[in-house]
Amino acid sequence: MNKSPKQISLENKLLNMLDGKSLKAAEILFADEELQAMQDYANNVSIKRLGYNDHGPVHMRKAALNTVTMFKLLEQNNVKMSLESEGIAENDDSLLAVFIAALLHDLGMAITRDKHEIVGIELAKPFIDKVINTIYLPSEISKKVAVRSIIQESIFGHMATQKIHSIEAGLVLVGDGCDMEHGRARITSLLSEKPRIGDIHKYSSTAIKKVSITQGDEKPIRILVQMSQSAGLFQIEEVLYPKIASSPIKPYIELYGQVMEEELLKYI
């Protein structure tokens, strides 16, 4: 498989963060050549055909890394996932679900941008089933159903256009939204010669220098978006904040923006 250095680096970071069921899932999916080809093709459609930014293997792994990072912060702060609080499954089942969902969430871009979050559920199904049927015993039907449903809910809800209800899906929604650093816009900036609809997203995202996810001062998660210029505020206010606002994990998040060395702007 032809993997970029950035993709390999992200995979190694994820492998070091995961264990048990989620680590096994990562090993299976990172070695899946068909998944690699589908993610590469989704990126081709996104960038070359539609003129959008990165929606391929690097973005999906970055979204997974963001999601897992926030999962661990909630775990450290004794925040239970929906499956555990409802007595359906354990914490490691939820980690498995959010990792798989984040890694597969943009497969629908291989077909279309419009409603790709719905199309993507069908495209992700073979990969979801491959992992679930490997990890769970045939007798663990209830857990298989629950994990599969959480994964599908997370893919379905990652655009904030559909209502979601689980903590797990909320993590994937915000984890996806946090991948907006300038690298995602670089390729489309290089390919574009004429202004077109959607350029505000591209140029505002080039102003985003770093998105940090750390332990918050008052809440479990602190998201800091650092920018080179105020154009980056568009990304926070029109892309990231709406996702957080509609996410079940909003009560656990502190969101800040900062232009260069200026004063921090607190959103929530």
Report the DSSP beta bridge partners of residue 223: 213, 255
C-alpha to C-alpha distance for 82 and 116, rounded to whole angstroms: 25
Measured N-to-C along each axis, helices 91-104 and 167-177 cross at an angle, to the nearest 10 degrees, of 40
C-alpha to C-alpha distance for 61 and 157, rounded to whole angstroms: 18
Give the per-residue pLDDT at 186: 42
Residues 6+ apart with CB under 8 A from 106: 39, 42, 55, 56, 59, 60, 63, 116, 120, 158, 176
Q: 81-125, pLDDT tens digit by residue?
A: 999 999 999 999 999 999 999 999 999 988 888 899 999 999 999
Average pLDDT, the chain: 90
> Does 2 or 8 have the greater pLDDT score?
8
Answer yes or no: is pLDDT of 20 > 90. yes
The residue written with tokens 């940090």 in the block is 212
Q: What is the mean pLDDT of residues 240-263?
A: 95
Answer yes or no: is pLDDT of 250 > 50. yes
Q: What are phi and psi of 214, to 5 degrees?
A: -140, 180
pTM of the entire predicted model: 0.91
Question: Among 16, 17, 26, which Cα is nearest to 103's?
Answer: 26
Q: What is the mean pLDDT of residues 193-219?
A: 74
Give the per-residue pLDDT at 190: 41
* Strands ordered across the beta sheet of 265-266: 208-215, 221-227, 253-259, 265-266
Q: What is the mean pLDDT of residues 221-249?
A: 93
C-alpha to C-alpha distance for 155 and 147, rounded to whole angstroms: 13
Give the per-residue pLDDT at 181: 77
C-alpha to C-alpha distance for 65 and 11, rounded to whole angstroms: 9
Answer yes or no: is pLDDT of 193 > 50. no
When pLDDT is cut at 50, 70 and 90, the band that residue 196 belongs to is very low
Question: Among 267, 205, 212, which Cα is nearest to 241's?
Answer: 267
When pLDDT is cut at 50, 70 and 90, the band that residue 54 belongs to is low
Answer yes or no: is pLDDT of 185 > 70. no
When pLDDT is cut at 50, 70 and 90, the band that residue 202 belongs to is low
- Residue 181 three-state SS: coil
> Do residues 55 and 129 lie in contact, with contact meaning Cβ atoms separated by under 8 Å?
no
Give the per-residue pLDDT at 85: 98
Domains of the chain by range and CATH?
5-176 (1.10.3210), 183-266 (3.30.300)
Helix ranges, the chain (H): 5-17, 20-30, 33-44, 57-76, 82-85, 91-104, 116-135, 141-156, 167-177, 183-191, 199-205, 233-235, 241-245
